[in-house]
């Protein structure tokens, strides 16, 4: 009986496990059978076979070996489960499980808690694992975080050693005699306190009892030595026993947190597109690193958004002359504008020109800008939403007319409007940007009848049939398209609501906060939506990091752990519920478009 | 002494007689005992009655003396799923875990015997309650060979019982047989996922090695 060793039951202690075994049995269902209603309230783990999960005749998910389920949702609705092949289930008495869950909060969380707290729990496990990983890197991998070693001769006086320390802007120097010792700022203080003569030898104030660490050892070793011996600096030795550098506690902690500041400096210093390209490559490394240290995805993506914006601004200033930069406004849109862009995907950008300003080479600068970004690895936008396209490179007044006509026609152009609504300022004259955005919000009052309903309708564009849910019927290796199934419905539904309620912030999370403030959505809904979106973006990020699929839209449920698969299902269910809410809110079932 | 000779002679005679009844002489080697080699055998059945129930799967692993220790040869193990004449019903599926779709592509009983008998050959068959397994196996092997299987058998539950009875100083205290799971637990044999014939055969083999190691 080791069905109780797998998640979520891996958090049980042996007494609890034995007790649960007593209240469990193996049951068998033939193909196409429903889980009988008298098993209501019990909890199941699939040993062999596969089932489909329905909510009011709607396929929610497919379940396969090692998945677990119970028959009631968190809001008390009842799911229907029907076997898609002959299935062997482990059936656990619901009451016994509840008793144990009451004593074991970790299990309770895993079994019954809302999506948000469940994800958090998994993140804690994950982060713990990842930080373990990070600590197992060798000292060598710290690279520039290691300070070079600075030496003074053993004949040096206290004064000479102190001067040497100041010259290299360090808090210590190494003293080289038969043995190597360390003389630090604290020792300078001791010497001053003792009223020592600074023209005498440094040796009495030098510590020759040094701990060292080998360059191939783990970071965790270094951290342990520092903690155990209460020291701040560790000389690093190579195979010959020579000191090759010094590792400070501060540098170590710096490395273990992030180093996006470094990239900012790199971007600022770039004097050519080529050196800017090197900074862009560092962004990729930063992302990988942050993921490994367990930083939350939306935190990473906000940082990446600001780094990307700085890259774009820098590239624009390297390409266009100052007069052009001052009289125009460059901005980005789409996921880049919402700050939900993690890996480099399509560039969506545009340029507003100050009315009356003219530069004969503007088209050429725009083209060069888009080319440079493509060089950096931000692919061209399929829909040509780029400033090299005249549609997206206009004087302010022309832009406004354009926006108005989009509202009035309410046809395919709505996709452009949707893109524009997520705009985020990058460089140039910000007044131009603010004016256009304010106008875009106001102009909806002149929109065609039922505009907002038609705008929201796009949420159904990926088929209102639940065909992507069928991907979830476990047994076959089908990928779930994260963008279609999860990200788009949430992002676009929230965007439509934001437009309706005049919300000007562009990130989905911020829009959700505003919608909650205006009581459009309740707190639980917004929290679950944020968590679900974060989960999708995280998965997408992990897929992108782990594969060559740079657009990283597909995730194969069968390659996830049972718990992750469960979270994916829950997240998809959250997206689906929200789709239902948007459909009812905008009466999309009534409005044929 | 005479009795002993008569017994040996009779058993030889019996063996010879049995061998002559083989309708498939190519299986004569089953009668040539192989000393110091064993095969741990486990069957999953639809029930407990050889007349009405059927074999669903067979697991077997051989045990040899190697460099003075008993060794199971897991690389050369046998795991066969059979197609029974009647599909298992719900009440027994939950015990052996084999669904109709698991066994419907199984091999015929004759094919199973053609693979299993050479694997066992003249070795002693080791099992947990091995008599039950042999009754089921003979229900198929007897019509196939013309005689029952001549192999010696060894039951680990009896072996364990004898060992513990010896340890028990008071001869009036009767030592009970233990269930397989109890045995595995008390001798700290690693638990493989249950209800899989090969896994059960392996755990039985480990138990056999363990008992022999400490009480040769």
Residues A307, A346 contacting (CB under 8 angstroms): no
pLDDT score for A536: 83
> Which residues on B lie below 8 Å from A28 (Cβ)?
90, 93-94, 99
Distance CA A206, CA A423 (A): 60
B97 and A47 within 8 Å at the Cβ level: the answer is: yes
Considering just the CA atoms, what is the radius of gyration of chain B in Å?
Answer: 18
Distance CA A84, CA A69 (A): 15
CB-closest option in A2, A30, A49 to B193: A2
B93 and A48 within 8 Å at the Cβ level: the answer is: no
> Which residues on A lie below 8 Å from B99 (Cβ)?
28, 48-49, 86-88
CB-closest option in A1, A25, A28 to B194: A1
pLDDT score for A401: 93
> Which residues on B lie below 8 Å from A26 (Cβ)?
94-95, 97
* Sheet (strand A393-395) strand order: A393-395, A349-353, A328-332, A424-428
A26 and B97 within 8 Å at the Cβ level: the answer is: yes
Distance CA A536, CA A486 (A): 7
Q: What percent of chain A has pLDDT over 90?
A: 27
List, as one string, the DSSP characters of A374-433. HHHT-PPPTT--STTSGGGEEEHHHHHHHHHHHHHH-STTHHHHHHHHT-EEEEE-HHHH
Q: With cut-offs at 50, 70 and 90, classify the pLDDT of residue A75.
A: low
Q: With cut-offs at 50, 70 and 90, classify the pLDDT of residue A263.
A: confident
Computed over every residue of chain A, the mean pLDDT equals 81
pLDDT score for B93: 87
pLDDT digits (tens, 9 = 90+) for A534-546: 888 877 777 666 6
Q: Which residue has better confidence, A208 or A263?
A: A208
pLDDT at B71 exceeding the cut of 70: yes
| Mean pLDDT across B5-33 | 79
Tokens of A545: 């990091």
Chain A residue nearest residue B91, CA to CA: A28
Q: Which residue has better confidence, A32 or A2?
A: A32
Tokens of B100: 């109709």
* Per-position b or e across A81-101, b if 16+ CB within 10 A of its CB: bbbbbbbbbbbbbbebbeebb
pLDDT digits (tens, 9 = 90+) for A449-481: 788 888 888 777 654 434 433 333 333 344 566
pLDDT score for A142: 74
Tokens of A147: 């300070």
pLDDT at A260 exceeding the cut of 80: no
Pick from A338, A362, A332: nearest CA to A350: A332
Computed over every residue of chain B, the mean pLDDT equals 86
pLDDT score for A304: 83
pLDDT digits (tens, 9 = 90+) for B105-150: 899 999 999 999 999 999 999 999 999 999 999 999 999 999 999 9
Distance CA A545, CA A305 (A): 18
A85 and B94 within 8 Å at the Cβ level: the answer is: no
pLDDT at A444 exceeding the cut of 70: yes
The distance of Cα A500 from the centroid of its chain, to the nearest Å, equals 28
Q: Which residues contact A215 (CB under 8 A, 6 or more apart)?
A: A138, A139, A140, A236, A237, A238, A244
A86 and B101 within 8 Å at the Cβ level: the answer is: yes
pLDDT at A418 exceeding the cut of 80: yes
Tokens of A167: 């010259």
Q: Which residue has better confidence, A346 or A505?
A: A505
Q: With cut-offs at 50, 70 and 90, classify the pLDDT of residue A179.
A: confident
Chain B residue nearest residue A3, CA to CA: B193
> Which residues on A lie below 8 Å from B101 (Cβ)?
85-86
φ, ψ for residue A490, nearest 5 deg: -70, -50
* CA-to-CA separations, A321 to A84, A249, A314, A362, A382, in angstroms, rounded: 65, 45, 12, 10, 28
Distance CA A461, CA A523 (A): 27
| Mean pLDDT across B86-111 | 89
A48 and B100 within 8 Å at the Cβ level: the answer is: no
Q: Which residues contact B165 (CB under 8 A, 6 or more apart)?
A: B174, B175
Has this prediction a pTM greater than 0.85? no
> Which residues on B lie below 8 Å from A27 (Cβ)?
94
pLDDT score for A474: 35
CB-closest option in B90, B191, B194 to A28: B90
pLDDT at A532 exceeding the cut of 70: yes
The distance of Cα A18 from the centroid of its chain, to the nearest Å, equals 40
pLDDT digits (tens, 9 = 90+) for A335-380: 888 888 777 767 889 999 999 999 999 999 999 999 999 988 888 8
pLDDT at B191 exceeding the cut of 60: yes
Task: Determine the angle formed by the axes of helices B130-145 and B109-120, rounding to 10 degrees.
Answer: 110
Residues A26, A90 contacting (CB under 8 angstroms): yes
> Which residues on A lie below 8 Å from B97 (Cβ)?
26, 47-48, 88
pLDDT score for A380: 86
> Which residues on B lie below 8 Å from A85 (Cβ)?
101
B101 and A85 within 8 Å at the Cβ level: the answer is: yes
pLDDT at B190 exceeding the cut of 70: yes
Chain B residue nearest residue A29, CA to CA: B90
Distance CA A57, CA A39 (A): 19
Q: What percent of chain A has pLDDT over 70?
A: 81
A49 and B94 within 8 Å at the Cβ level: the answer is: no
DSSP 3-state assignment of B51? coil
- Chain A contact probe: residue of B44, B57, B81, B99 with most A CBs at under 10 A: B99
pLDDT at A548 exceeding the cut of 60: no
């Amino acid at each position: 009986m080791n069905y109780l060793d797998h998640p979520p039951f891996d958090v049980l202690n042996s007494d609890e496990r034995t007790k649960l075994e007593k209240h469990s049995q193996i049951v068998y269902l033939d193909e196409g059978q429903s889980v009988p209603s008298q098993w209501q309230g019990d909890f199941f783990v699939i040993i062999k076979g596969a089932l489909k999960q329905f909510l009011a005749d709607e396929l929610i998910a497919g379940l396969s070996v090692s998945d677990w389920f119970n028959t009631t949702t968190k809001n008390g609705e009842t799911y229907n489960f029907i076997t898609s092949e002959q299935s062997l289930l482990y059936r656990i008495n619901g009451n016994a499980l509840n008793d144990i869950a009451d004593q074991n909060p970790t299990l309770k969380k895993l079994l019954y808690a809302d999506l948000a707290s469940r994800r958090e729990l998994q993140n804690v496990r994950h982060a713990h694992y990842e930080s373990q990983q990070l600590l197992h890197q060798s000292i060598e991998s710290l690279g520039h975080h290691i300070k070079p070693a600075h030496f003074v001769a053993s004949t040096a006086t206290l004064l000479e050693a102190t001067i040497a320390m100041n010259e290299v802007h360090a808090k210590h120097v190494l003293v080289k005699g038969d043995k190597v010792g360390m003389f630090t700022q604290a020792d300078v203080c001791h010497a001053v306190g003792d009223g020592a003569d600074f023209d005498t030898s440094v040796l009495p104030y030098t510590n020759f009892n040094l701990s060292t660490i080998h360059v191939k050892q783990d970071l965790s070793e270094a951290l342990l030595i520092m903690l155990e011996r209460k020291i701040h600096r560790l000389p690093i030795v190579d195979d010959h026993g020579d000191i090759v550098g010094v590792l400070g506690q501060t540098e170590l902690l710096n490395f273990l947190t992030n180093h996006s500041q470094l990239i900012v400096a790199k971007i600022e210093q770039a004097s050519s597109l080529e050196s800017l390209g090197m900074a862009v490559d560092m962004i990729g490394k930063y992302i990988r690193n942050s993921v490994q240290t367990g930083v939350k995805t939306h935190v990473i993506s906000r940082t990446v958004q600001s780094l990307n914006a700085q890259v774009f601004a820098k590239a624009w200033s390297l390409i266009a002359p100052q007069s052009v930069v001052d009289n125009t406004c460059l901005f980005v849109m789409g996921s880049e504008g919402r700050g939900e862009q993690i890996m480099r995907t399509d560039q969506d950008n545009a340029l507003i020109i100050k009315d009356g300003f003219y530069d004969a080479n503007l088209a050429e600068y725009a083209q060069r800008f888009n080319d440079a970004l493509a060089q950096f690895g931000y692919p061209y936008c399929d829909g040509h939403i780029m400033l090299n396209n005249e549609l997206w490179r206009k004087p302010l007044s022309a832009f406004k007319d354009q926006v108005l006509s989009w509202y009035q026609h309410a046809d395919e152009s709505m996709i452009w409007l949707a893109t524009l609504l997520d705009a985020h300022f990058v460089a140039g004259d910000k007044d131009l940007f603010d004016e256009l955005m304010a106008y875009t919000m106001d102009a909806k009052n002149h929109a065609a009848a039922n505009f907002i309903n038609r705008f929201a309708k796009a949420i159904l564009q990926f088929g209102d049939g639940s065909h992507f849910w069928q991907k979830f019927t476990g047994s076959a290796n089908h990928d779930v398209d994260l963008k279609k199934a999860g990200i788009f419905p949430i992002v676009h539904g929230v965007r439509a609501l934001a437009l309706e309620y005049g919300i000007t912030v562009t990130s989905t999370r911020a829009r959700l906060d505003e919608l909650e403030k205006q009581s459009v959505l309740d707190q639980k809904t917004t929290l679950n939506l944020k968590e679900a979106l974060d989960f999708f973006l995280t998965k997408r990020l992990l897929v992108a990091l782990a594969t060559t699929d740079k657009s990283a839209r597909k995730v194969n449920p069968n390659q996830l752990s049972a718990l992750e698969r469960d979270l994916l299902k829950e997240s998809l269910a959250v997206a689906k519920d929200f789709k239902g809410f948007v459909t009812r809110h905008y009466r999309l079932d009534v409005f044929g478009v | 002494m005479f009795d002993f000779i008569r017994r040996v002679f009779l058993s030889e005679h019996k063996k010879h007689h049995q061998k002559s009844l083989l309708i498939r002489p190519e299986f004569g080697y089953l009668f040539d005992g192989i000393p110091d080699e064993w095969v741990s055998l486990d069957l999953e059945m639809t029930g407990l009655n050889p007349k009405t129930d059927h074999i669903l799967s067979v697991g077997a692993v051989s045990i040899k003396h190697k460099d003075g220790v008993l060794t199971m040869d897991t690389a050369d193990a046998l795991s066969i799923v059979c197609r029974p004449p009647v599909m298992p019903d719900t009440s027994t599926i939950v015990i052996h875990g084999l669904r109709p779709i698991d066994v419907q592509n199984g091999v015929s009983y004759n094919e199973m015997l053609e693979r299993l008998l050479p694997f066992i050959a003249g070795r002693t068959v080791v099992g947990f309650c091995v008599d039950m397994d042999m009754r089921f196996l003979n229900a198929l092997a007897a019509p196939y060979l013309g005689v029952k299987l001549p192999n010696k058998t060894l039951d680990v539950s009896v072996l364990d019982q004898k060992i513990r009875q010896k340890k028990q100083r008071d001869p009036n205290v009767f030592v009970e047989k233990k269930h397989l799971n109890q045995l595995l637990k008390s001798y700290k044999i690693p638990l493989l996922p249950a209800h899989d014939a090969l896994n059960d055969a392996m755990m039985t083999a480990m138990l056999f090695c363990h008992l022999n190691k400490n009480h040769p």
